[in-house]
Amino acid sequence: MHTDLVAALDIGGTKIAAALVDGDGRLLVRAQRSTPAREDGATVMGVVNAVLEELKASGDWSRVRAVGIGSAGPVDASNGTVSPVNVPGWRGFPLVAEVTKTTGPLRVVLVGDGVAMTAAEHWQGAARGHDNALCMVVSTGVGGGLVLNGRLHPGITGNAGHIGHISVDLDGDLCACGSHGCVERIASGPNIARRAVESGWRPGPDGDATAAAVAASAQAGDPLALSSFQRAAQALAAGIAATATLVELEVVVIGGGVAGAGETLFAPLREQLRRYATLSFATGVEVVPAQLAGDAGLVGAAAAAAEALGLWSARHAMPARTA
């Protein structure tokens, strides 16, 4: 039997998804459950096993060559453990060993969700054809991953590209990570909303005080809402400029709910980037929206495994831009 598929797992604080992914990035079979995030570790693992069993029940399981896992972080790919912030039952949880009990002798590759999203955008999305890219998710948190010299760069433990926890405000607010003034502490959705409310912005009659509501107000010209997005854009720009200066980026891809604000975020971000990315080799970096939406985690988990294990041909794994 020709083994040409990767079984992908995407594990987050709200959902656990799985799919069989082929060498063109198509999802052939899929399964998804809610994450019982407040339950004990064994219960959460039971849900992972349930979605894997759904895949195994399909006729295509015999074509599976490897397993790719993208998990909310922190992860430790070097010893196969995960400690997702939003899943307290999993601390140093031996996810790779547990998955292997269900999947048998297949090779398993674990990466953080930011790295998985990056693999997906490099393979099929907005970073395709670029050899040096930073891909970011700006949502409840701020995550990311790097492509360097044409290859995914997961780092030793699978966490490289954690741009959300670069400090851009030296004496800034304490971040959940323990540092101060992190990009995430300023630019994540909840922090955009918090800053707006603290500055006097008030939600409309529906009471919606999320970053999406702040974005809608900003689009309607509300100066307090605009100012909160401006500050988020400034933090993102400083973090991107630092990264571009360190490793020379061609493109920065931004996805996640906050990126859904479109030009409300991207316009001030490009403007702020001109303030911070000033050296000749950093000024050319392009900032574009992500192209893969809900399936990026699954496609990326498969892509990361395929690249790490050399499963698909170079043409399939990382196609060059043809047009």
Q: List contacts with Zn ion (CB under 5 A).
A: 165, 175, 177, 179, 182
In the complex, the smallest distance separating the C-beta of residue 97 from Zn ion, rounded to whole angstroms, is 29
Helices 263-276 and 211-219, axial angle in degrees (round to 10): 90
In the complex, the smallest distance separating the C-beta of residue 191 from Zn ion, rounded to whole angstroms, is 11
Of the two residues 242 and 301, which places its CB atom closer to Zn ion in the complex?
A: 242
Of the two residues 171 and 206, which places its CB atom closer to Zn ion in the complex?
A: 171
In the complex, the smallest distance separating the C-beta of residue 142 from Zn ion, rounded to whole angstroms, is 9
Residue 204 — φ and ψ, nearest 5°?
A: -75, -170
Determine the Cα–Cα distance for residues 141 and 103; give it in Å rounded to an integer: 31
In the complex, the smallest distance separating the C-beta of residue 181 from Zn ion, rounded to whole angstroms, is 8
Of the two residues 148 and 177, which places its CB atom closer to Zn ion in the complex?
A: 177
Of the two residues 67 and 166, which places its CB atom closer to Zn ion in the complex?
A: 166
DSSP secondary structure string for all residues of 220-267: TT-HHHHHHHHHHHHHHHHHHHHHHHHH--SEEEEESGGGGGTHHHHH
Of the two residues 25 and 239, which places its CB atom closer to Zn ion in the complex?
A: 239
Residue 193 · residue 217 · CB < 8 Å? no
Q: Residue 20 pairs with which residues in a beta bridge?
A: 7, 29
Nearest CA to 96 out of 120, 75, 113 is that of 75
Residue 17 · residue 51 · CB < 8 Å? yes
In the complex, the smallest distance separating the C-beta of residue 179 from Zn ion, rounded to whole angstroms, is 5
